[in-house]
């Protein structure tokens, strides 16, 4: 009887240890924080007349119920590593915090020159902090762009592409509306606006539609070469191009039609 009781006690202790170990193991896994530059300035340039005022830095924490505090710092002199100053601060809610980066100065004039940004995440128990990174954004005013022929040509190509994409999206919306006249038209989980085409926003939408990794999508936004884009996309290229074009359901749009518009040749 004593041996049987001893075995029962040992088994009970083992079960308790196993039950207690699971939540401790789960609790030991730290939350992760990611910082991402997004919006029209995601490629490192913010051009007046070509880009909209939607330059942002997104801070996310996973799992979402673990929130952190962070501050945004700004540096107007990239040659002076000590000239950082606090620009904004906040705390994630639902795992997200968005810092809006200015496009215009205090006099409401489009900024000009290079500005550095960085996000400092406050240390917290059970949180794995990201490696702090500096984001370099070059602001180009319309006045500065007047004497730059290459930039003027690039802006004209961007404008033409924006107009074509807006037209394509509007035609797609009308087609779907004819099929489903009483339903709201949504793509990528977000209501489509009547505004201009935003490269980073549309790239992120297409990446989300096919489950393309966010880190690779960021590389896609930053690259300026169609061939490099194809290498980044790999086997997902055709699916991504179709998702970007957002054609009527069941229709596929090849990359041979999409990529030349998104990444026009430098001398073409």
Q: What is the pLDDT of residues 180-224, one digit of tens each?
A: 444 443 333 333 344 456 778 888 888 888 888 888 898 888 888
Whether residues 95 and 155 fall in one domain: no
User: How many whole angstroms separate alpha carbon 177 and alpha carbon 173?
Assistant: 6
Confidence band for 21, pLDDT divided at 50, 70 and 90: very low
Task: Give every CB contact of residue 111 below 8 A, 6+ residues apart in sequence.
Answer: 46, 102, 103, 104, 105, 139, 141
Confidence band for 122, pLDDT divided at 50, 70 and 90: very high
> For the residues 39-43, what does the mean pLDDT come to?
87
Whether residues 250 and 169 fall in one domain: yes
Instruction: Please check whether residue 89 is in contact with residue 121, taking contact to mean a CB–CB distance below 8 angstroms.
Output: no
The reply to whether 9 falls in a domain is no
Whether residues 228 and 165 fall in one domain: yes
The reply to whether 160 falls in a domain is yes
Whether residues 108 and 177 fall in one domain: no
Domain that holds residue 108: 31-144
> What share of the chain in percent tops pLDDT 70?
68
- Residue 11: per-residue pLDDT: 46
- Residue at a domain's end among 144, 163, 192: 144
User: How many whole angstroms separate alpha carbon 12 and alpha carbon 168?
Assistant: 67
Residue 247 has pLDDT above 60, yes or no: yes
The reply to whether 214 falls in a domain is yes
The reply to whether 2 falls in a domain is no
The reply to whether 3 falls in a domain is no
DSSP 94: T
Q: Is the peptide bond before 161 cis (omega within 30 degrees of 0)?
A: no
B/e letters for 208-246, b = 16+ CB within 10 Å, e = fewer, are ebbebeeeebbebbeeeebeebeebbeebbbbbbbbbbb
In this structure, what CATH number is given to the domain that contains residue 113? 2.60.40.1930
Residue 142 has pLDDT above 90, yes or no: no
Whether residues 35 and 134 fall in one domain: yes
- Residue 174: per-residue pLDDT: 60
The reply to whether 23 falls in a domain is no
- Residue 260: per-residue pLDDT: 79
Neighbours of 166 (CB within 10 A): 15
Whether residues 45 and 80 fall in one domain: yes
User: Tell me: the pLDDT tens digits for 72-107?
Assistant: 999 999 889 889 999 999 999 989 999 999 999 888
Residue 4 has pLDDT above 80, yes or no: no
Q: How many domains does the chain have?
A: 2
Whether residues 258 and 152 fall in one domain: yes
Whether residues 208 and 161 fall in one domain: yes
Residue 243 has pLDDT above 80, yes or no: yes
- Residue at a domain's end among 127, 144, 161: 144
Residue 17, phi then psi, degrees to nearest 5: -65, -40
The reply to whether 120 falls in a domain is yes
User: How many whole angstroms separate alpha carbon 127 and alpha carbon 92?
Assistant: 13
User: How many whole angstroms separate alpha carbon 26 and alpha carbon 4?
Assistant: 34
Task: Give every CB contact of residue 11 below 8 A, 6+ residues apart in sequence.
Answer: none
In 3-state terms the chain splits into helix, strand, coil percentages (rounded to 5) of 40, 25, 35
The reply to whether 81 falls in a domain is yes
Whether residues 134 and 52 fall in one domain: yes
- Residue at a domain's end among 123, 144, 165: 144
pTM: 0.52
Residue 162 has pLDDT above 70, yes or no: no
Whether residues 54 and 140 fall in one domain: yes
């Amino acid at each position: 009887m004593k041996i049987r009781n001893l075995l029962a006690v040992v088994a009970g202790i083992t079960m308790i240890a196993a039950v207690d170990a699971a939540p401790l193991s789960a609790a030991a896994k730290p939350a992760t924080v990611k910082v991402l530059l997004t919006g029209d300035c995601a490629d490192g340039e913010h051009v007046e007349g070509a880009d909209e005022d939607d330059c942002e830095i997104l801070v996310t924490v996973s799992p979402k119920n673990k929130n952190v505090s962070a501050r945004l710092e700004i540096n107007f002199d990239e040659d002076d590593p000590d000239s950082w100053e606090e620009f904004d601060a906040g705390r994630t809610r639902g795992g997200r915090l968005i810092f809006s980066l200015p496009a215009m100065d205090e006099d409401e004039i489009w900024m000009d020159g290079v500005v550095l940004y960085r996000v400092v995440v406050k240390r917290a128990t059970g949180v794995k902090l990201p490696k702090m990174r500096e984001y370099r954004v070059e602001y180009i005013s319309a006045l500065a762009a007047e004497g730059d022929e290459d930039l003027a040509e690039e802006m004209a190509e961007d404008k033409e592409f924006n107009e074509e994409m807006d037209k394509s999206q509007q035609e797609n919306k009308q087609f779907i509306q004819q099929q489903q006249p009483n339903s709201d038209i949504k793509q990528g989980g977000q209501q489509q606006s009547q505004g201009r085409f935003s490269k980073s926003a549309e790239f992120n939408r297409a990446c989300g539609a096919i489950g393309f990794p966010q880190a690779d999508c960021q590389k896609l936004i930053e690259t300026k070469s169609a061939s490099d884009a194809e290498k980044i996309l790999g086997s997902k290229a055709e699916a991504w191009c179709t998702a970007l074009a957002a054609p009527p359901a069941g229709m596929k749009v090849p990359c041979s039609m999409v990529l030349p518009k998104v990444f026009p040749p430098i001398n073409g």
